[in-house]
Amino acid sequence: MTNQQIAADVIAAENEKRAAALKSDYSALGEKLARTGTDIDAVTSKVAEFFVAVPSWGVGTGGTRFARFPGLGEPRHIFDKLEDCSVINELTRATPTVSLHIPWDKADPKELKAKGDALGLGFDAMNSNTFSDTPDQAHSYKYGSLSHVDAATRAQAVEHNIECIELGNAIGSKALTVWIGDGSNFPGQSNFTRQFERYLASMADIYKALPDDWRLFSEHKMYEPAFYSTVVQDWGTNFLIAQTLGDKAFCLVDLGHHAPNTNIEMIVARLIQFGKLGGFHFNDSKYGDDDLDAGSVEPYRLFLVFNELVDAEHRGVKGFHPAHMIDQSHNVTDPIESLISSANEIRRAYAQALLVDRTALEGFQNDNDALMATETLKRAYRTDVEAILAEARRRAGGAIDPVATYRASGYRARVASERPAVKGGSGGIV
């Protein structure tokens, strides 16, 4: 038995309070879905097998350029972070893996692996950090890392990524995600072509160090911290990178890394069509890279992204297995509650996308019946699938209402008494 953070009897007692209502809701929804030939249990089973990785950095309180307001019981190190991540998984049964960020989470691989095993957690993609300096490093990343004009700085950044692969390999990870802050703040500051050539050469060196069963994800981002241009600014450049590097290289789509109103679901479709969709950093956005909770601002967009994923699944696209990860920053909520809710919203979008009548949709598309085609999507989106999500959690040993159960467990108060309070005041984006 693994070392659980939330006592099984707390989950059982909370579930007991809600079991009868869930049974009734699930049965009513089952009847409704049966009328259109959908077996609710088949959908519930698929939802129960859908997992998303939690970011280790997400369980700490984030911040903005202006300030950071620490929360109670903030994790002190990666082992505290893993315990917080375990809480999310114990209650949702949707997040059995954690994505680490190096050097923030650097630790003895044996200890990391042992802690993960004890909590029943695995390790998802490793994330390198060459967008900030550590006190002991020889060359600064102030003017870039993998694309820096200085060869020694580039070599140091490549070496850091290789170190991430080696650590990841020792703990069972199978992917490296590379996002760089490289770019320019002024027109003329950098030669776009030379800079991208240097980036590609550095990435090729990292790619060479990749084990055979690993994947390399490159993440595009329109702006920030470079405000005039970034080296990997959009999905087109990202696609060129993945295509240039080889079969183990894929594009990672972070939902917040696009201009407002960008048709992200269409980008997803294109990347799927050409075999280069590596996976996602789920979050939500209003204006920029806001790192808001998944599904909190534009749940319909999240659904439309999942509609493309389910469409690919439905068509049996070869080698289609995108990595699902959350990438959020929590400033005003308990990070554990935000991550619980985000994992649920992501599963909700998946469940709704599973309900799309794809035969009918194809018929309406072929008949140029725009109204009924879009109505077919809306019909699935409007379905309240909460009972499916709750039943999937309950069957897997999780909580029918995970946030209420988390609050009832008193976990935050317990860790607040064990972990020293952190003073606020400093700025800094997580």
Smallest distance from the beta carbon of 53 to Mn ion, in angstroms?
Answer: 12
Q: Which residues contact 268 (CB under 8 A, 6 or more apart)?
A: 253, 277, 305, 308, 309
Q: Which is nearer to Mn ion, 89 or 99 (CB)?
A: 99
Q: Which is nearer to Mn ion, 215 or 394 (CB)?
A: 215
Q: Which is nearer to Mn ion, 30 or 62 (CB)?
A: 62
Three-class SS of residue 157?
helix
Q: What is the x/- site pattern for Mn ion, positions 203-242, by CB under 5 A?
A: ----------------------------------------
Q: Which stretch binds Mn ion (CB under 5 A): 133-141, 227-235, 274-282, 350-358?
A: 274-282
Smallest distance from the beta carbon of 111 to Mn ion, in angstroms?
Answer: 26
Q: What is the x/- site pattern for Mn ion, positions 279-318, by CB under 5 A?
A: --x-------------------------------------
Q: Which is nearer to Mn ion, 221 or 394 (CB)?
A: 221
| Helix ranges (DSSP H) in 261-315 | 264-273, 299-315
At 137, which helix (H) or strand (E)?
A: none
Smallest distance from the beta carbon of 328 to Mn ion, in angstroms?
Answer: 9
Q: Which stretch binds Mn ion (CB under 5 A): 165-173, 297-305, 325-333, 412-420?
A: 325-333
Count other Cβ atoms within 10 Å, centred on residue 260: 8
C-alpha separations of 93 from 50, 79, 321, 390 in Å: 10, 20, 20, 10
Query: Do residues 101 and 56 touch, judged by C-beta distance below 8 A?
Result: yes
Q: List the one residue out of 105, 132, 221 whose CA is nearest residue 429.
A: 132
Q: Which stretch binds Mn ion (CB under 5 A): 92-100, 113-121, 323-331, 363-371?
A: 323-331
Residue from 14, 74, 124, 254 in contact with Mn ion (CB under 5 A): 254
Q: List the one residue out of 223, 228, 283 whose CA is nearest residue 253.
A: 283
Q: Which stretch binds Mn ion (CB under 5 A): 37-45, 123-131, 238-246, 278-286?
A: 278-286
C-alpha separations of 178 from 101, 175, 224 in Å: 11, 10, 15
Three-class SS of residue 234?
coil
Report DSSP state, residue 396.
T
Smallest distance from the beta carbon of 210 to Mn ion, in angstroms?
Answer: 20
Smallest distance from the beta carbon of 298 to Mn ion, in angstroms?
Answer: 17
Q: Which stretch binds Mn ion (CB under 5 A): 248-256, 372-380, 392-400, 413-421?
A: 248-256
Smallest distance from the beta carbon of 269 to Mn ion, in angstroms?
Answer: 20
Summarize the chain as % helix, strand, coil (round to 5): 50, 10, 40
- CA–CA separation, 177 vs 155, rounded Å? 18
Give me the amino acid identity at 133: D
Residue from 74, 105, 291, 327 in contact with Mn ion (CB under 5 A): 327
Q: Which is nearer to Mn ion, 85 or 390 (CB)?
A: 85
Residues that bind Mn ion in the complex, under the rule CB under 5 A: 254, 281, 327
